[in-house]
């Protein structure tokens, strides 16, 4: 892949990391505020997410074919914070009466939420690696920055995010038929993306690209549906201070958009690699 094309793919990965970081920043700030920041560690995810968002936006605007060491450190911190947060959330669920039960999965700390910060860090690091290998070793770049690996990470992220949405929408009894979309469209996109990574078929890549674009649009549409969901709570948006905390969570759906963008970047990397 030519350097310009690699830099474009890297910037797209930075953008996908920025979308995920923004989702984590807004969601963790609201949820941890609702929990009154009882544990001082609850201040960490919003802070790290804000740094990741800033680094990713700078990366998305950066046209230079060089990795940035400061961004690398921020992305590593984001991934580590997400892993630690996952442990905290498991602990939060386990210490409640009943342990790992449906009730606690529904109403305790969301079990999969910290993984969004892990993915933001991984995608950001992938962006910097794509810039770096393309600049230093253009001939071996396809071996070091594999689009197939990135496709696998994106597919796994989409599947996990869809599972989290399925849990929350099951809690809501799927009372709105539109609630089926987040548990059907992203899994199809993830399956097609994984198949494209394994087989390398162009036709499979075209189908995966179509479903990933639908998934990206679904992220934006989901915000609109969640805005409507908040309005249906008692008092509607006039009582926004309480109803925004009650949900549905406004920042959650853009995670689909961020992961879809990373999947599209992975497909571009695979396609370009196949044309060489």
Residue % of the chain over a pLDDT of 70: 91
What per-residue confidence (pLDDT) applies to 18?
95
Count of positions (residues) in the chain: 276
What per-residue confidence (pLDDT) applies to 15?
93
| DSSP 8-state class, residue 152 | H
**Position 1 confidence tier, pLDDT thresholds 50, 70, 90:** very low
Can you give the pTM of this predicted structure?
0.86
Residue 253 phi/psi, 5-degree rounding, is -60, -30
Please report, for the chain, the start and end positions of each structural domain, with discontinuous segments joined by +. Answer: 1-145, 146-276
Residue 207 phi/psi, 5-degree rounding, is -65, -40
Structure tokens at 13: 């990965």
Residue 140 pLDDT greater than 90, yes or no: no
Tell me how many degrees the CA angle 115-185-269 measures, rounded to the nearest 5: 70
Determine the Cα–Cα distance for residues 258 and 188; give it in Å rounded to an integer. 16
Residue 198 pLDDT greater than 90, yes or no: no
Q: What is the pLDDT of residues 157-190, one digit of tens each?
A: 999 999 999 999 998 889 899 999 999 999 999 9
The count of other CB atoms within 10 Å of the CB of residue 228 is 12
Tell me how many degrees the CA angle 235-250-263 measures, rounded to the nearest 5: 160
């Amino acid at each position: 892949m030519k350097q310009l094309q690699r830099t474009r793919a890297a910037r797209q990965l930075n953008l996908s990391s920025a979308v995920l970081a923004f989702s984590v920043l807004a969601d963790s700030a609201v949820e941890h505020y609702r929990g009154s920041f009882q544990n001082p560690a609850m201040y960490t995810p919003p802070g790290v997410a804000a740094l990741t968002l800033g680094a990713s936006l700078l990366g998305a605007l950066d046209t230079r074919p060089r990795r940035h060491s400061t961004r690398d450190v921020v992305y590593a911190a984001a991934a580590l914070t997400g892993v630690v947060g996952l442990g905290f959330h498991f602990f939060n669920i386990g210490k409640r009466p009943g342990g790992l039960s449906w009730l606690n999965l529904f109403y305790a700390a969301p079990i999969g939420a910290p993984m969004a910060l892990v993915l933001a860090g991984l995608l950001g690091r992938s962006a910097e690696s794509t810039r770096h290998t393309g600049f230093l070793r253009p001939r071996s770049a396809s071996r070091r920055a594999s689009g197939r690996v990135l496709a696998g990470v994106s597919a796994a992220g989409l599947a996990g995010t869809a599972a989290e949405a399925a849990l929350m929408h099951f809690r809501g009894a799927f009372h709105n038929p539109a609630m089926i979309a987040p548990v059907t469209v992203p899994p199809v996109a993830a399956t097609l993306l994984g198949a494209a990574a394994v087989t390398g078929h162009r036709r499979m890549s075209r189908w995966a690209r179509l479903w990933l674009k639908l998934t990206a649009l679904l992220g934006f549409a989901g915000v609109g549906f969640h805005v409507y969901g908040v309005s249906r709570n008692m008092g509607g948006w006039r009582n926004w201070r309480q109803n925004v905390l009650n949900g549905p969570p406004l920042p959650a759906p853009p995670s689909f958009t961020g992961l879809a963008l990373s999947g599209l970047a992975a497909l571009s990397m695979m396609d370009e690699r196949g044309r060489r």
